[in-house]
Homo-oligomer: A and B are copies of this chain.
């Protein structure tokens, strides 16, 4: 007997009156824990036991030491007693299912080995004991298949080929149709495959089989695929996989035996009806393999797909009744939609596994909202159950799964959604091609110069740049799918061709990008765009009630603002006035203004620009109907408005001499534009542009009246700048619209501004933390250039996440906290928001909530995600 005080407990039992209730998923794995749980609740579970997850690393270091093995042997004894069967011996040999199960289920790890314990002798014994030699040898061939492929590493398809050959010979539909003789031939064929490929055979000793199976499962934890999966999915807090060893029950013991899966609700639609499949006279892995077509569990399900085969509900109503009762009890108990594996052995129902079922995004929302309305869960739990990816999937077109696609390469999933279009490499090509078809703009990287063509394209693909490069930011803002940094792609401008590995594609060829996954796919594909539905609306209402922070949108066009308003916003948190110059006709005017050296000409152009900017503001103010709008005055360096090529054409376009344009462009060129003449610095060096913008703003406000106007100054680093700018604003205000109310605020996007917050705060009504620029300057990383090494940093474990996606809380976060604390101490009425990409990132949003930020602002299509994040943090998730 084990002295539990002295000896480490490696084994937890379930299913035969010896459940160890103390286990949890981190110790028992999700599978072992679920079985123990069900067993203790009285569900019909085949008895068994679990080697705990800690065994995984112990095994890795020590090999199959006696400590664990002794306890396995002892546990087997107990299992023999509980089942009345004997492992490796008659009269009724005990067979085992051996399964892996980590805390989080993990593709890439070995999964299940069935019928372990069979060898030439025990198979004969099993035939005698069950009086069913066909069943016994069917089980045996299944064992050899699985042992051979999973433990000995032989290609599974070799076994399948033998089976299929025999089915052809015997004219059988499936394995169940084979005769005993045929099975013997198959088994001989299997043995020959193993001998041919390994020079040896599988162990006849069941204990040896078990030892090897345990070792293989533990080893699979560290297989390259499993390691990669954990890294990619940030699963790093786990000890290893557990191994669950369970007495076999048999779905392949004749026509009153079957095996199947069952969902308590429809995983695709979320509808409140059972959904499942089954196979008669079969074992579970056949269902998984996809080699045979299963039948439907419910009549409704059968009718939905017009399946001619009888549903379980129709063919075995008693079994169905028992099974559906068990399923509903499980759902009730776990208060979650259950995905159940079951086997019926000669009429007796056994549950082999129950877990929370995977489901589509819309099903997730419907089920959570339904369960809340059924009183099964509370609002807080609803918020917890819906994740950001689901919301994202609900908002963007997704790939229709029913098709074959050829993935050419993978870039960064920069802006979600799937879209197909003809390849265009230049703005001119976009303009030309987009007259007749959808176009995908493919560039090394984009610049503000490309905005027009980005607007015309249906999607953007770049070979450089990261998740927050220009292309990505603009694409997300526009709600267009975008894949960035697809480094395997080379663009050959001369021949207007892109090259990915061996594939060459000319301009005009069709390409698909999946901005949700980063995949670049050859040709056109079919997509589906999910529709909003009542439960989604209910869910978002719940979100709105739960969050503390306000959520605003970054928008500068009526189109963007309309999208944002449709998601329900507290206002516009960032209206980038320079975006208003991006239309082709305005761009030309703006360029002319920058390039002319004639003061009078510049004044005339500014007057023209004022007219268009004013009308844009009027349209925005009208649609906002009194909601606040934070208007940021011109921010980027002026040369960003100029094309980098075709200066001759530019000169022609703006009607200025080429040498004058060349000279002016040289004057404007900057080595590090991000740290150059931009933001309020433009108001110091070119005051007339800001004055024009202010006039347009105040005149528009005066025209609309119902406006909550907030004027925002970018790139401030010193109080003197604010004092000067406030004076300029006040002068224009007094001159144009002294009866309109307005607020003035500044971006906190330079470290010095954060440090100086106490001096800046009393001068303004609000701070808006510009986390993009603040990250760039605090870390010294240009987001346009960072992709080149940030990838490398992440691979080498130097960075957990891209700091332009998820806020660097330690560094940038400390500066923000400083700005908040110092700002509020000096001006208790100060309102503090966050604009910039991090305003739409859940991890960052949780941080912003924790430090008392008043509102976040993000791109329109990100609003629901941001809201959910703001709600989740309040709910404590």
Q: Which residues of A contact B (CB under 8 A)?
A: 444, 490, 663, 666, 670-677, 681, 684-685, 715, 717-718, 720-721, 724, 749-752, 755-756, 773, 776-782, 784-786, 788-789, 792-793, 796-799, 808, 810-812, 814-815
Query: Does B673 contact A750, Cβ atoms closer than 8 Å?
Result: no
Known contacts A677-B785, A789-B681, A780 near B724 by CB under 8 Å: no
Known contacts A677-B785, A720-B798; 12 further A-B pairs (Cβ under 8 A): A670-B785, A671-B673, A671-B782, A672-B674, A674-B675, A675-B675, A676-B788, A685-B792, A718-B798, A751-B811, A752-B810, A755-B778
Which one, B670, B681, B778, contacts A750 given CB within 8 A?
B778
> Residue among A670, A672, A673, A784 with the most chain B CB within 10 A?
A672
Contacts of A812 in B (CB 8 A): 752
Known contacts A684-B796, A792-B685, A717 near B751 by CB under 8 Å: no
* Alpha-carbon gap, A810 to B751, bound state (A): 12
Query: Does A755 contact B789, Cβ atoms closer than 8 Å?
Result: no
Contacts of A681 in B (CB 8 A): 789, 793
A466 to chain B, nearest CB (A): 12
* Alpha-carbon gap, A291 to B724, bound state (A): 50
Query: Does B780 contact A715, Cβ atoms closer than 8 Å?
Result: yes
A666 and chain B: residue at smallest CB distance: B444
Which one, B490, B672, B677, B788, contacts A789 given CB within 8 A?
B677
Query: Does B798 contact A684, Cβ atoms closer than 8 Å?
Result: yes
Contacts of A756 in B (CB 8 A): 810-811
Query: Does B779 contact A685, Cβ atoms closer than 8 Å?
Result: no
Query: Does A798 contact B724, Cβ atoms closer than 8 Å?
Result: yes
Query: Does A717 contact B779, Cβ atoms closer than 8 Å?
Result: yes
A488 to chain B, nearest CB (A): 13
Known contacts A677-B788, A751-B811, A773 near B782 by CB under 8 Å: no
Contacts of A718 in B (CB 8 A): 798-799, 811
A408 to chain B, nearest CB (A): 20
A808 to chain B, nearest CB (A): 7
Contacts of A788 in B (CB 8 A): 676-677, 685
Provide 21 A-B residue pairs closer than 8 Å at the C-beta atoms, listed in order of the A residue.
A670-B782, A671-B674, A671-B785, A672-B675, A672-B785, A675-B675, A676-B782, A676-B786, A681-B789, A684-B796, A717-B781, A720-B797, A724-B796, A750-B780, A751-B811, A752-B778, A752-B780, A752-B810, A755-B810, A755-B811, A773-B780
Contacts of A810 in B (CB 8 A): 752, 755-756
Contacts of A724 in B (CB 8 A): 796, 798
Query: Does B751 contact A777, Cβ atoms closer than 8 Å?
Result: yes
Query: Does B684 contact A793, Cβ atoms closer than 8 Å?
Result: yes
* Alpha-carbon gap, A681 to B781, bound state (A): 10
Contacts of A776 in B (CB 8 A): 672, 675
Contacts of A444 in B (CB 8 A): 666
A635 to chain B, nearest CB (A): 12
Known contacts A684-B792, A751-B778, A784 near B673 by CB under 8 Å: no
A667 to chain B, nearest CB (A): 8
> Residue among A673, A779, A810, A812 with the most chain B CB within 10 A?
A779
Query: Does B673 contact A780, Cβ atoms closer than 8 Å?
Result: no
A437 to chain B, nearest CB (A): 29
A833 to chain B, nearest CB (A): 20
A717 and chain B: residue at smallest CB distance: B779
* Alpha-carbon gap, A796 to B724, bound state (A): 9
* Alpha-carbon gap, A778 to B717, bound state (A): 9
